[in-house]
Amino acid sequence: MVVPLTHVIGLSAILFAIGTIGALTRRNLVVILMSIELMLNAVNLSFVAFARAWGGVEGHVFVLMVITVAAAEVAVGLGIVISLFRNRDSVDVEDVSLLRW
Amino acid sequence: MSFAAFLFYAFAALALLSSLGMVLNVKNTVAGAMWLVVTMISLAVLYVLLDAYLVAVLQIMVYAGAILVLFLFVVMLLNLRSDAFAAPRSRATKFVGALVGVGALASFLSLLPGALPRVVEVPASFGSYRDVGLTLYRSYVVAFEVASFLLLAAVVGAVVLAKRRLD
């Protein structure tokens, strides 16, 4: 491996935290979806790093599954965003509080 | 430090900077999406350096190609040129969100020096298309088929959601 495993996993943790902060603090629904993509990518990076460390290729197979789920999630999520924009004329999460207690 | 290690740290820094650019950019949603493309491509470079060749190609094709085009398409369709929102109801959610993110990062990094696996030597064919493909189609063929059903359901769901009005 070209760098110690600790550095790769540390990078993955930092990217995941950046994605978490983005998903929890931003109000634009599209940016929230992009932050969730960033979190999924951080997890993919640690899957790839551990697959390389263990010498098994199953981690790569799991990354393919995560990419599939991410693509499905983006398609449905952006469909919901478009539908909300038509009805509420906004992509602000604070305008989408119908189910909030 | 070898050239590969230099490349790794350079693209790791680029990934961090561009993801920060995406999250902290509150002015322009299109610019945020373009920052995310930079993150995806630098992560693809990191995958190549970690011997995950098929995953790197798919990262560029699916993430930087398909998913980001979908994001840009929706941003431009909704004409979200600026993020001009009304004043927030409370600043508490933002503060709590940032606190949760930093707390998660601190707990991850405090766990990091613990029990990581020992890195083994791998053959040169590790991560090749043949290697991953044989594993995928021999041991995980059921998961592969289920993933294709998931994609079908997502396509149908996206069309239904984007077509009809919610009322």
Q: Is the pLDDT confidence value at B114 over 80?
A: no
pLDDT by residue (tens digit) across A60-92? Answer: 999 999 999 999 999 999 988 888 888 888 888
Residue A9's pLDDT band (cuts 50, 70, 90): very high
Q: Is residue B111 part of a domain?
A: no
Task: Answer yes or no: do B83 and A28 touch at CB < 8 A.
Answer: yes
Closest partner residue to A45 (CB to CB) among B43, B122, B155 is: B43
Residue keyed to tokens 């919901």: A80
Query: Is the residue at B58 inside a domain?
Result: yes
Residue window 18-47, chain A: list those with CB within 8 Å of chain B. Answer: 18-28, 30-31, 33-35, 37-38, 41, 44-45
User: Can you give the residue range of the structural domain that contains B71?
Assistant: 1-84
Stated pTM of the model: 0.90
Question: CATH number for the domain including A47?
Answer: 1.10.287.3510
Q: Would the CB atoms of B97 and A25 count as touching at under 8 Å?
A: yes
Contact A92, A27 (CB under 8 A): yes
Phi, psi of A91 (to 5 degrees): -120, 25
More confident residue, A94 or A32: A32
Q: If contacts are CB pairs under 8 Å, which of residues 44-103 in chain B contact chain A?
A: 46-47, 49-52, 54-55, 58-59, 62-63, 66-67, 70-71, 74-75, 77-78, 80, 83, 85-86, 88-89, 93-94, 96-98, 100-102
Task: Tally the domains of chain A.
Answer: 1
Mean pLDDT for chain B overall: 87
Q: Residue B83's pLDDT is what?
A: 59
Residue bearing the bigger pLDDT, B91 or B2: B2
Q: Where are the alpha helices (DSSP H) in chain B?
A: 3-24, 29-49, 53-58, 68-77, 92-111, 129-139, 141-163
Asked whether residue B104 is assigned to any structural domain, the reply reads: no
Of A38, A54, A61, Cβ closest to residue B36: A38
Reported ipTM: 0.91
Query: In one letter, which amino acid is B111?
Result: L
pLDDT of residue A91: 81
Which segments within chain A are labelled E, that is strand? none
A73 found inside a domain = yes
B84 has a pLDDT exceeding 70: no
pLDDT for A65 equals: 93
- pLDDT of B121 > 90? The answer is no
The reply to whether B132 touches chain A by the CB within 8 Å rule is: yes
The nearest alpha carbon in chain A to B24 belongs to A22
Mean pLDDT of B89-102: 84
Residues B132 and B74 in one domain: no
- Please, which pLDDT band fits residue B34 given cuts at 50, 70 and 90? very high
Total domains, chain B: 2
**pLDDT of B164 higher than 80:** no
Q: State mean pLDDT over B8-24.
A: 94
pLDDT band, very low/low/confident/very high, at A97 (cuts 50, 70, 90): confident
Sequence length of chain A is 101
Residue A98 lies in a domain: no
Give percent above pLDDT 90 in chain B. 47
**A88 part of contact set with chain B, CB < 8 Å:** no
Mean pLDDT of A96-101: 74
Q: End of a domain among B29, B59, B84?
A: B84
